């Protein structure tokens, strides 16, 4: 068993590495939050859901107080962040109902907990738009996953801004921008990009605009905004969470997952989201693999005896990203101090999957978005991808400044019926699954880690993400995304004021194992600090301009921003 002395050495070692090598300020020097996060004497930024539930059970805190706090905070901070598109008109009524249920003895795991939901997930009474004016006012009913959250007692507080159409519309584009919501800003440094496409959820959870959030990912859109905003994110195994009622990019890779400030909350929310949905055949496979209570896997000794591989090559360049290199080394030291055996410089040979993935996503999106539009929107709304292209062309004032180039490439494909589409998908999946399986087996690994993100880049309203320069991008999402298998990210350190995360990568249905490892590391290091909402930072991002091409767009696809 790990000793208290060893745990104290872990924190000392990690902080020494981060302070000495990365040059970050100690947590106290990062400053107090922009506004108080205390409600009824409880710091809700630091509190877990079980702690909030305990306070409400003792009548020290009410769901109404908690919900009012977040509504007021959204009003105060959202003009700076643009993280929220819509606040639920029934949120306070739902909170009052939760308080009545608690007084009657109800003890559901999310009772009275306000949740921020990405604006591509159906929520009764609020529009579901993917950030586009083409779907403004479209109000489909609750998605299955939202019904599951409500059944667990959650209050659906608000809809979060996002990269419009899951960042699969234009080339270039700016992550976190949508026609309806504008440009999401990251709360640590407001002129930096929050990553996408679950940008509003990441920024909103980090800034305490809700207790927890729901994001969706096709490739990187949960883990990247979680890493960039200093929070925890789980990209579940495909089929663990229903996709029905979620605006799709591709059913072959899309999944929703929790985005939270700590691992405990991620475990609570994930358990509430699972369930077999007759309208989503993929969820049938979760039988025997899913749990309604993932907190049982939160083990502060989980890393003792574990073998963890480190994936460096292909995720970042140490000469370009020295801060990421130092943070990853500090994480390795922490893992070793917790009793893990590290197998450094392991390889996940995923490069050959990038091209087939992008080609498959183009043809899958063409049919999947049309199926959603036909099923979930009224007669007045677009019904095909070509209709969406026509809407964008007709409304440049609403849907600018970006183009519809990726839409147009997708429209040119033969859709899912094209044998080339099937071949591309089968190729991408086979490469990704073999890459993970063989890496785990060859090195006798329990999991693999890699950096989630680099320091957030300057938001560029003209040239888009990274100004077109992908040499500085850091990401490790693609193996898990393409394979449809599990990954999760937790905060690992800071490059100046900018958060950097580390991702645990596992096999299919490995959520329990990854939660244990992430919880052990989190408890040993405790690196997260709240954002300070700095206006700017001094360093400049490189800018490369030029005409977008399919190769350029495929590079962005590889970067994991969807």
Q: What is the DSSP letter of 18?
A: I
Q: Which residue is catalytic, options 62, 174, 221, 476?
A: 221
- 478 touches 355 (CB < 8 A): no
Nearest residue to 452 (alpha-carbon basis) of 126, 227, 277, 271:
227
- Tell me the residue length of the chain: 562
Which residue's structure tokens are 């905003």? 229
Burial class (CB in 10 A: 0-12, 13-18, 19+), 134: buried
- Note whether 140 and 246 are within 8 A (CB): no
Burial track 217-242 (b if 16+ CB lie within 10 A, e otherwise): bbbbbbbbbbbbbbbbbbbbbbbbbb
Tell me which residue has tokens 């147009």: 408
The Cα–Cα gap between 146 and 117 comes to 9
Structure tokens at 84: 């929220």
**What is the spatial distance between Cα 137 and Cα 383, in angstroms, rounded to a whole number?**
15
The radius of gyration of the chain's CA atoms, rounded to the nearest angstrom, is 22
Q: What is the DSSP letter of 309?
A: E
CA torsion sign, 383 to 388 to 391 to 397? positive
* Tokens standing for residue 496: 């100046």
- Phi/psi for 490 (5° steps) reads -135, 160
Q: What sign does the dihedral 169-433-344-233 (CA atoms) show? A: positive
Residue 118 annotated to the active site: yes
**What tokens were used for 555?**
């590079």
Name the phi and psi angles at 300, rounded to 5: -70, -5
Residue corresponding to tokens 């033969």? 414
Q: Active-site residue 197, yes or no?
A: yes
For tokens 């590495």, the residue is: 17
The three-class DSSP label of residue 122 is coil
* Cα 201 to Cα 344: distance, rounded to the nearest angstrom: 33
Q: Which of 62, 88, 118, 226 is catalytic?
A: 118
Q: Where are the alpha helices (DSSP H) in 23-128?
A: 49-57, 63-81, 91-103
Cβ contact 188:229 at 8 Å: yes
> Choosing from 62, 132, 170, 197, which is the catalytic residue?
197
Instruction: Give dist(CA 153, CA 159) in Å, integer.
Output: 18
Least Cα distance to 411 among 370, 440, 354, 464 occurs for 370
What is the token pair recorded at 40? 């009824």
Task: Map tokens 């290091």 to a residue.
Answer: 525
Cα(123)–Cα(138) distance, rounded to whole angstroms? 11
Cβ–Cβ < 8 Å for 525, 230: no
Active site residue 547: no
β strands within 124-220, DSSP E: 155-160, 177-178, 182-183, 212-217
Residues acting as catalytic residues: 118, 197, 221
């Amino acid at each position: 068993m790990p000793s208290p002395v060893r745990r104290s050495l872990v924190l000392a070692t990690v902080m020494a590495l981060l302070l000495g090598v990365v040059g970050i300020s100690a947590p106290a020097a990062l400053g107090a939050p922009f506004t108080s996060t205390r409600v009824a004497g409880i710091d809700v930024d630091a509190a877990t859901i079980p702690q909030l539930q305990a306070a409400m059970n003792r009548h020290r805190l009410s769901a109404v107080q908690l919900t009012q706090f977040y509504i007021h905070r959204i009003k105060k901070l959202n003009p700076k962040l643009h993280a929220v598109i819509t606040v639920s008109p029934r949120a306070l009524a739902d909170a009052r109902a939760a308080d009545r249920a608690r007084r009657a003895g109800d003890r559901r795991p999310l009772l009275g907990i306000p949740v921020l939901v990405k604006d591509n997930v159906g929520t009764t009474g609020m529009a579901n738009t993917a950030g586009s004016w083409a779907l403004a006012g479209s109000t489909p009913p609750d998605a299955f996953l939202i019904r599951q959250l409500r059944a667990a007692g959650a209050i659906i507080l608000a809809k979060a801004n996002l990269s419009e159409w899951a960042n699969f519309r234009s080339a270039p584009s700016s992550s976190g921008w949508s026609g309806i919501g504008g440009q999401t800003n990251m709360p640590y440094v407001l002129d930096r990009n929050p990553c996408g496409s679950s940008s509003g959820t990441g920024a909103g959870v980090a800034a305490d605009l809700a207790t927890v959030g729901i994001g969706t990912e096709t490739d990187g859109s949960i883990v990247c905004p979680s890493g960039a905003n200093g929070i925890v994110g789980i990209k579940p195994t495909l089929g663990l969470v229903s996709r029905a009622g979620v605006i799709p990019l591709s059913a072959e890779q899309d999944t929703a997952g929790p985005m939270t400030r700590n691992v405990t909350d991620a475990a609570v929310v994930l358990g509430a989201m699972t369930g077999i949905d007759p309208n989503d055949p993929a969820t049938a496979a979760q039988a025997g693999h899913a749990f309604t209570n993932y907190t049982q896997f939160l083990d502060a000794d989980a890393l003792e005896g574990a073998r963890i591989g480190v994936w460096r090559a292909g995720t970042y360049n140490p000469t370009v990203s020295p801060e990421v290199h130092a943070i990853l080394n500090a994480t390795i030291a922490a893992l070793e101090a917790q009793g893990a055996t590290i197998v450094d410089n392991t390889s996940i040979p995923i490069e050959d999957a990038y091209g087939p993935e992008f080609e498959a996503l183009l043809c899958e999106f063409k049919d999947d978005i049309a199926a959603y539009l036909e099923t979930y929107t009224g007669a007045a709304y677009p019904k095909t991808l070509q209709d969406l292209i026509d809407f964008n062309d007709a409304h440049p004032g609403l849907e600018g400044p970006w183009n519809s180039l990726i839409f147009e490439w997708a429209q040119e494909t033969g859709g899912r019926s094209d044998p080339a589409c099937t071949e591309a998908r089968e190729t991408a999946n086979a490469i990704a699954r073999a890459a993970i399986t063989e890496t785990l087996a060859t090195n006798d690994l329990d999991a693999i880690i890699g950096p989630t993100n680099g320091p957030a880049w300057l938001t560029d309203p003209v040239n888009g993400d990274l100004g077109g320069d992908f040499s500085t991008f850091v990401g490790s999402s693609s193996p898990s995304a393409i394979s449809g298998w599990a990954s999760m990210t937790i905060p690992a350190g800071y490059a100046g004021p900018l958060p950097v995360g580390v991702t645990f990568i596992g096999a299919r249905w490995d959520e329990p194992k990854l939660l244990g490892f992430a919880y052990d590391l989190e408890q040993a290091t405790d690196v997260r600090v709240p954002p300070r909402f700095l206006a700017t930072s001094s360093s400049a991002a490189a800018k490369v301009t030029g005409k977008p091409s399919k190769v350029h767009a495929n590079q962005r696809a590889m970067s994991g921003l969807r």
